[in-house]
Amino acid sequence: MNKNELSAAVAEKTGLGKGDAASAVDAVFDTITSTLKSGGDVRILGFGNFSVNDRAATTGRNPLTGAPVDIPAKKVAKFSAGKGLKDALNS
């Protein structure tokens, strides 16, 4: 499912117009992104948690030449599924 399909599904379930549903989906994604960017976590009860983890710098290898390559440290988004989502998937 892509973003347009998600917006259409939200519109169908809520009775909103497709444009309003797309705006709502965009607002949710923008809010999650800005919260993570500012260092916070997003916890949605029954669904899951979004957080930011720091990935340390490492040295990798170029698979073509075998030469060492420095991989810089960076922040990565992490999602942990909540109990409600896990139960829904496994029932």
CB 24, CB 12: distance < 8 Å: no
32-90, pLDDT tens digit by residue? 999 999 999 999 999 999 999 999 999 999 999 999 999 999 999 999 999 999 999 99
Asked if residue 54 and residue 14 are part of one domain, the reply reads no
Domain that holds residue 20: 1-40
Cα separation, 9 vs 32, in Å, equals: 20
As to burial, measured by CB atoms within 10 angstroms (0-12 exposed, 13-18 middle, 19+ buried), residue 16 is middle
pTM: 0.80
Asked if residue 52 and residue 28 are part of one domain, the reply reads no
Asked if residue 78 and residue 53 are part of one domain, the reply reads yes
Domains: count for the chain: 2
Tokens of 54: 């720091």
Asked if residue 46 and residue 36 are part of one domain, the reply reads no
CB 36, CB 76: distance < 8 Å: no
Asked if residue 83 and residue 51 are part of one domain, the reply reads yes
